[in-house]
Amino acid sequence: MMATVNRSQSSDTNTISHWDKKYANLIYEITKSRDELTHERDQLKMYSSNLAEEMEVLQSQYDTVAASRDKLQEELNRLNLNRTVLSPDKPCRQGWIQFNNKCYYLSAAKESKTWEESRKDCQEREADLVIITTKAELEFVKRSSSVTWIGLSRGEQQDEWKWVDGTNLEGEGFWEDGEPNNNGGIEDCVEVARFTAAWNDAPCNNTFSWVCEH
């Protein structure tokens, strides 16, 4: 009887030992997989951090190059405009540029004013904000700066536009697609952007460069 009990206990012990080893191996494999995943996660975090730093450096370099490009473009545009040959029978005043028998004053680079302030500056120069009547004149004006005020603003009626000389806008003008849209109900003055070469209504309190004409 005793021998039978011992054999049973021995069998139970072997079974437990077998399961202990099995679970121990399983725990080992799970722990190993966890450690490997943890290591891989840490490596990915480090890679992501390094990539973010590289992107910040590249963005900074891009911003610097873009700013330099814009500055050079404005300087080049101004130099090209200054190459315009003055007519001997109608010379423009010093600091003004002649184009198609008209004289234009271009505000200094990076100088900006509201629409009213821009017009006042022109009037103090015995002139007024530019009135654009041809595509050629539009192309000339839009080269002066990134965004430029012109002498067109909303009249008393919603769809009425008047030039600074009091005349109404004739025809369809040179509006950008979808403009004028009077976004927010406060866009009563008109500017020209270099990259669109078209008119856009904007809040009169915005500050842009400007072009005077006489």
Report d(CA 151, CA 204) in Å as an integer. 12
Answer yes or no: do 55 and 117 share one domain: no
Strand partners for 154: 161
Among 139, 143, 123, residue whose Cα is nearest residue 212: 123
Helix (H, G, I), strand (E, B) or coil at 8: helix
Report d(CA 148, CA 193) in Å as an integer. 6
Q: In which domain, by residue range, is 64 found?
A: 1-83
User: How many other C-beta atoms can be found within 10 angstroms of the C-beta atom of residue 192?
Assistant: 29
Answer yes or no: do 56 and 154 share one domain: no
Q: Answer yes or no: is 145 within a domain.
A: yes
Among 156, 142, 155, residue whose Cα is nearest residue 198: 142
**What is the pLDDT tens value at each position of the chain, 214 positions in all?**
444 545 555 565 666 676 677 777 888 888 888 888 888 888 888 888 888 888 888 888 888 887 778 777 777 666 666 554 444 455 899 999 999 889 999 998 789 999 999 999 999 999 999 999 999 999 999 998 999 999 999 988 878 999 999 999 998 999 999 999 999 899 999 999 999 999 999 999 999 999 999 9
Answer yes or no: do 112 and 193 share one domain: yes
Give me the pLDDT at residue 10, please: 59
Report d(CA 80, CA 87) in Å as an integer. 17
Among 64, 80, 138, 141, residue whose Cα is nearest residue 105: 141
How many domains in the chain?
2
Answer yes or no: do 74 and 121 share one domain: no
Give me the pLDDT at residue 90, please: 58
